[in-house]
Amino acid sequence: MLHFDVIIVGAGVAGLYASLNLPKELKVLILCKDQPWECNTFYAQGGIAVAKNTEDIALHIKDTLDAGAGMCDENAVKTLSEESLEVLEDLIARQTPFDKDANGNLLFTKEAAHSTSRIIHAGGDSTGRALHSHLMAQISHTLWKNATVTELLIENNHCYGVSVLTKRGNYNLYAKHIILASGGVGALFEYHTNAHTISSELHGMILENGLKLKDMEMLQFHPTVFVKTHHARKMLLSEALRGEGAKVVDYFGKRFLFDYDKKGELASRDRVARSIFDYKLKLQEKFKKQEEQEIYLDLSEFSKEFFYNRFPNIARNLSAFGYDLPKDRIPISPAFHYCMGGIETDGVGKVVGMENLYAVGECACTGVHGANRLASNSLLEGLVFSRRSARDIMGCVKSEQKTREFLLHTEPLQNPQDENLKAILRHLMWSKVGIMRNKSGLNEALGGVEVMLQSGVGRLLRLRLLTAKNIIESALKRDASIGAHYLTE
């Protein structure tokens, strides 16, 4: 039997920062499905929202609560903003390469629904990549790549460990404490911005053990995504583009977003995404030519020098598709981006109802996002609450390890028809459980998921289907539109 003090599932910002807050003397194992950079952190562009100083805390809290449409946990939001200053101080002490001006001062940018410029960034539009690489270089604990967790070893209210599939075989691993940092639910949708490893399987394991997911109907769709690519993960075009002056226009150059909201491009994400989605439907009814049905991101506000310096990653990727930037307008569409809900946790990231199981980052529901996440609060949440979980573990790490040996599961992980069914599921979730919903569409999606659950699928797809079913049922229970949950009837 392989025993550890702590097992961390996931090597994104939450998992890595949790490990950095656990001392080298502990036996800590980090597990990631693929290579460590195949996580949402690595692809995050905009930055990290932080309170600029103690005076800004109250306004940061207000902006977060306003975006959350009354569904946030105020205590969790207060914790998020107050501890952002401590986390920022720690990241600076760790020499994280944040962008600075000529005098060495941090550069702050503004994104939608923020009252002031308070978002720090690194590498222009490569904050996630820079942060992830920097944290990876500092970890001192063991990391296993290509390790897929297939089961949580839970009995009563204690998690004894995890079952993990590696290239060498299937193992049961045991630990005093388990931290889940496995990310969100991107693989459930046809159009999404997530890494291919983000599959929602851990959410399914939570459900099969009788534990709770919370606010799963609250799904954020990023308004500006370049979807004309064959890859499952679509190219995110950072909200910081609009914060810096990019405009959303139709084929004729009209800035139509002001017809929907007086804040135009800087309205909250859910409103911008819905507005683009709705306007595009109207264009499809009105015009026959494909180009006249498109919505575009107009970058002409930028000089070429500024654009390539401030957004080097976006510039490089779009240039590879043949666009002359910032001269050419870029066709855009909303796509699934972030799950506000997740595994229900308390103030230190402990899974509700469990003794020693924690969830941090996007897989968790801490209550800070409510019905709509404020831009760039996600990396901050992963940092703040992973540190809180690590500190809670340090308070009881000397306790004796409970032992209980589990048999390896024998359920097939994948069946031949699963890949086709995954594609059907993605289309079903995108078309019926997406940006704009109605009861009949949700019921149709629920029926489709239940049919698939009864069709002899492999374990990993079954776990995805359990999560999808929970999302749909959560949406059906909420009769009124609020935040990211928008009903058309």
- Between 112-116, 301-305, 343-347, 431-435, the lowest mean confidence (pLDDT) is in 112-116
pLDDT score at 375: 86
Higher pLDDT, 408 or 12: 12
E-state strands within 361-469: 364-365
pLDDT band at 414 (very low <50, low <70, confident <90, very high): very high
Residues 32-50: what's their mean pLDDT?
93
**So what's the pLDDT on residue 240?**
84
Q: What share of the chain is helix, strand, coil (3-state, %, to 5)?
A: 40, 20, 40
Query: Strand, coil or helix: what is 419?
Result: helix
304: tokens are: 């070429």
pLDDT, residue 252, reads: 96
Catalytic residue among 233, 269, 387, 462: 269
As a whole number of Å, the end-to-end CA separation of the chain is: 55
pLDDT recorded at residue 381: 98
Confidence (pLDDT) at 402: 82
Predicted TM-score (pTM) above 0.85: yes
pLDDT score of 113 more than 90: no
pLDDT digits (tens, 9 = 90+) for 306-355: 999 999 989 999 999 999 999 999 999 999 999 999 999 999 999 999 99
How far apart, in whole angstroms, are the C-alpha atoms of residue 463 and residue 374?
A: 29
Contact 7, 179 (CB under 8 A): yes
Percent of the chain predicted with pLDDT > 70 = 100
Name the strands in the sheet holding 219-226, side by side, starting at the edge strand that comes first in the sequence: 235-236, 219-226, 330-339, 295-298, 247-250
The pLDDT-based confidence of 100 (bands split at 50, 70, 90) is very high
Sheet with strand 119-120: strands edge to edge: 48-49, 119-120, 108-109
Tell me whether residue 437 is one of the annotated catalytic residues: no
444-486: pLDDT as tens digits: 999 999 999 999 999 999 999 999 999 999 999 999 999 999 9
Residue 108 corresponds to which tokens in the numbers above?
A: 């702050």
103 phi/psi in degrees, rounded to 5: -95, 5
pLDDT value of residue 269: 79
Classify each residue of 288-302 as buried b or exposed e, where b means 16 or more C-beta atoms within 10 Å of its C-beta. Answer: eeeeebbbbbbbeeb
pLDDT at 463: 98
Strand pairing partners for 180? 9, 359
Residue 163 has, within 13 A of its CA and on its CB side, a CA count of 19
Rounded distance between C-alpha atoms, residue 344 and residue 338, angstroms: 16
- Decide if pLDDT at 409 tops 90: no
Give the Cα separation of 223 and 261 in Å (integer). Answer: 14
Strands (E), 147-198: 148-155, 158-166, 169-180
pLDDT class of 45 with cuts at 50, 70, 90: confident
Mean pLDDT check: name the lowest of 25-29, 141-145, 231-235, 426-430.
Answer: 231-235
pLDDT for 364: 98
Q: Which residue ranges form the domains of the chain, and what is each CATH number?
A: 1-218+340-410 (3.50.50.60), 227-335 (3.90.700.10), 417-477 (1.20.58.100)
Q: What is the mean pLDDT of the segment spanning 354-383?
A: 96
pLDDT above 90: residue 118:
yes
Q: What confidence tens digit (pLDDT) does each residue in 134-187 have?
A: 999 999 999 999 999 999 999 999 999 999 999 999 999 999 999 999 999 999
